[in-house]
Structure 1
Amino acid sequence: MQRYRTQYTERNKPGLEGAIEIEMEVVSDYLHVGSGVYDIEILKPLDNIQQLVESALKGSIPDLSGYFSPVTHEMAKYGEKLVIPGSTVKGLVRTRLELSIPNSCYVVSRNSNSSSEVYKRIFRNPRHKYSDKFPEQVCPVCDLLGNAGLASRVSFSDLVMTQGKAEFVNVYNEYYESAVKGSKFRGKVLYHSFNNVDLGMLLYGMGFRIKGGKLEGKIMLMGRFKYSDRRFGRVRFSLVKGEYVNALNEFIKKYNPLDFNEEW
């Protein structure tokens, strides 16, 4: 079984440096990428709080529907504008590359108590994946995006909304602030010590494929509810300027990556 490795010393050689300006469009009805901030409003005083607590301790669940507003979950913001955190974009890219490049690392940080049938149907079970520590060598994905002991050669800025709007959408009786279909976000990806294959790998991880001799972004899944609610989570990346067909071709020729249809 062939295993791809990149020596640590190779990444220190001089190479390409630059920035790619990207745009991300929401192509589903909604996109929610949580900020971790949520809100709930007290609608009326809990004058009988002691009675309610005693009732709950006795096993009787009190009806609090009139006391609190539905929970609302916010998206991240920069000033008044919605943003998609750069860490979210980097996580998307890493996941797709780990699943696509045969015998790359498949980093699992925790055990899951549940699994999504949609996820398994789209990506299937990764074959020949492992998660080892490499004191002298590192897989191509870690070499590009870093790991616990290795700095990333790529930096993702937050993507800032430049077009569109957000609405609060009711999902399971809670409200999620969501960018609506057609909303667009822009940001930059900075890279250094790259060669053409590295550049092609980065583009492949963002969903770019070659169609008619040009780069075209495929539909990718991002954010909350992407595997459970068809209204959510579909995005597509495009380049604001620049063309990198040769770089993507070189990456595909070297690694023969897998591809997945995420439009479930």
Structure 2
Amino acid sequence: MQRFHTQYTERNSIGLEGVLELEMEVVSDYLHVGSGVYDVEIIKPLENIDQLVETALKGTIPDVNKYFSPVTHEMNRYLGKVIIPGSTIKGLVRTRLELSIRDACFIVSRNSNTSSAAYKRIFRNPRPRPTDRFPQRVCPVCDLLGNSGLASKVSFSDFIMTQGKVDYVNVNGQYYESCVKGSRFRGKVLYRSLKPIELGMLLYGFGFRDKKLEGKVMLIGRFKYSDRRFGRVRFSLPSPKQEYVKALEDFVRTFKPFDYNEEW
């Protein structure tokens, strides 16, 4: 049976309010977080369309690759700038907290039937089988980041690219718009009604581990478990505060969270 810290089963409207300003650096060769949009261009006029259609109707699939450019998968943009959606950042933080905290109900991955060999090697987890007991009990992660019918105490902005460049990387014959190593993104996380230990939990979810507040390498985006060239990032705090150190230390001391080396 799962045991929940009683201090997290009820919500208190009085608590810490503030903004975490964060920077994310790409430390792998590339980072691709897809927008779901892809582009294909016509590179040769289709002068014999009738012949191609007739061939197809006769049961032979014509080769039309020479008429089109390779598929290009685009990243997200807002006002012309490359961004990582706030929902993607929140998903990263939530997943890591659910994997790390013994009391978490682990809802992010409960519907997954398969996972890659690299994922299994990285996140070898002795926790019980994932369950979701909401709304009977609220786990620490759901209390912080919300659940169905339960508002999040934290809001994530999009992370906007402020430095670096993009390139188009060929993966299995398709091209992926990708930020190159050294690219940097800036974003904010607004929080309210947090207990100090929850602020520490949030910092832990971003990969901060000690009083130096230096972020660990974390995996995000496409190909992170299948291609070593992709998906490694590191978060930092441009304006760290001493209260962050105490909050992080209190969280680690209380929850004794699991930690993982994502440098596979």
- Both structures adopt the same fold (TM-score exceeding 0.5): yes
Number of aligned residue pairs: give it: 261
Question: Using the alignment, how far apart are the partners of 1:116 and 1:50 within structure 2?
Answer: 45
Question: Using the alignment, how far apart are the partners of 2:44 and 2:64 within structure 1?
Answer: 10
Question: Using the alignment, how far apart are the partners of 1:59 and 1:122 within structure 2?
Answer: 47
Per the TM alignment, residue 142 of structure 1 is displaced from its structure 2 partner at its CA by: 0.5
Per the TM alignment, residue 46 of structure 1 is displaced from its structure 2 partner at its CA by: 3.0
- Counterpart AA for 1:84: I
Per the TM alignment, residue 10 of structure 1 is displaced from its structure 2 partner at its CA by: 3.1
Question: Using the alignment, how far apart are the partners of 1:125 and 1:61 within structure 2?
Answer: 48
Would the alpha carbon gap of residues 126 and 105 (structure 1) be closer, same or farther in structure 2, given more than 3 Å must change?
farther
Q: Which residue of 1 aligns with 2:178?
A: 178
Matched, 1:88 2:88: yes
- Counterpart AA for 1:204: Y
- CA deviations on 1:194-228 (whole Å, 9 max, x unpaired) are 01110000000010010xx3211000001011011
Give runs of aligned pairs for residues 30-69 of structure 1, distance below 5 A.
30-56=30-56, 59-69=59-69
SS at match of 1:209: coil
- Counterpart AA for 2:219: L
Per the TM alignment, residue 88 of structure 1 is displaced from its structure 2 partner at its CA by: 0.5
Per the TM alignment, residue 136 of structure 1 is displaced from its structure 2 partner at its CA by: 4.0
Per the TM alignment, residue 79 of structure 1 is displaced from its structure 2 partner at its CA by: 1.4
Q: Give unmatched runs, 5+ long, in structure 2.
A: none
- CA deviations on 1:105-137 (whole Å, 9 max, x unpaired) are 11136344x421000100025621333343342
C-alpha contact (below 8 Å) 1:167/1:177 kept by paired residues: yes
Q: Which residue of 1 aligns with 2:233?
A: 235
Q: Which residue of 2 aligns with 1:200?
A: 200
- Counterpart AA for 1:229: D
- CA deviations on 1:208-257 (whole Å, 9 max, x unpaired) are 010xx321100000101101111110000000102311100111111110
Question: Using the alignment, how far apart are the partners of 1:52 and 1:233 within structure 2?
Answer: 41
SS at match of 2:202: helix
C-alpha contact (below 8 Å) 2:106/2:132 kept by paired residues: no
Would the alpha carbon gap of residues 11 and 31 (structure 1) be closer, same or farther in structure 2, given more than 3 Å must change?
same
Per the TM alignment, residue 168 of structure 1 is displaced from its structure 2 partner at its CA by: 1.0
Q: Which residue of 1 aligns with 2:122?
A: 122
Question: Using the alignment, how far apart are the partners of 2:2 and 2:9 within structure 1?
Answer: 21
Q: Give unmatched runs, 5+ long, in structure 1.
A: none
Question: Using the alignment, how far apart are the partners of 1:262 and 1:55 within structure 2?
Answer: 51
Between 1:60-69 and 1:154-163, the stretch displaced more is 60-69
Question: Using the alignment, how far apart are the partners of 2:144 and 2:95 within structure 1?
Answer: 13
Question: Using the alignment, how far apart are the partners of 1:221 and 1:82 within structure 2?
Answer: 19
- Counterpart AA for 1:99: L
Question: Using the alignment, how far apart are the partners of 1:167 and 1:4 within structure 2?
Answer: 46
| Higher strand proportion | 1
Per the TM alignment, residue 6 of structure 1 is displaced from its structure 2 partner at its CA by: 5.3
C-alpha contact (below 8 Å) 1:167/1:180 kept by paired residues: yes
Per the TM alignment, residue 171 of structure 1 is displaced from its structure 2 partner at its CA by: 1.0
Aligned-pair identity in percent equals 69
- CA deviations on 1:149-200 (whole Å, 9 max, x unpaired) are 1111000100111111111111111111111100100010000000111000
Question: Using the alignment, how far apart are the partners of 1:236 and 1:57 within structure 2?
Answer: 53
Give runs of aligned pairs for residues 71-86 of structure 1, distance below 5 A.
71-86=71-86
Q: Which residue of 2 aligns with 1:219?
A: 217
SS at match of 1:120: helix
Q: Which residue of 1 aligns with 2:155?
A: 155
CA RMSD between the two structures? 1.9
Question: Using the alignment, how far apart are the partners of 2:161 and 2:132 within structure 1?
Answer: 38
Per the TM alignment, residue 77 of structure 1 is displaced from its structure 2 partner at its CA by: 1.0
Question: Using the alignment, how far apart are the partners of 2:37 and 2:135 within structure 1?
Answer: 39
Q: Which residue of 2 aligns with 1:103?
A: 103
Question: Using the alignment, how far apart are the partners of 1:8 and 1:195 within structure 2?
Answer: 10
TM-score, normalized by length of structure 2?
0.92
TM-score, normalized by length of structure 1?
0.92
- Counterpart AA for 2:150: L
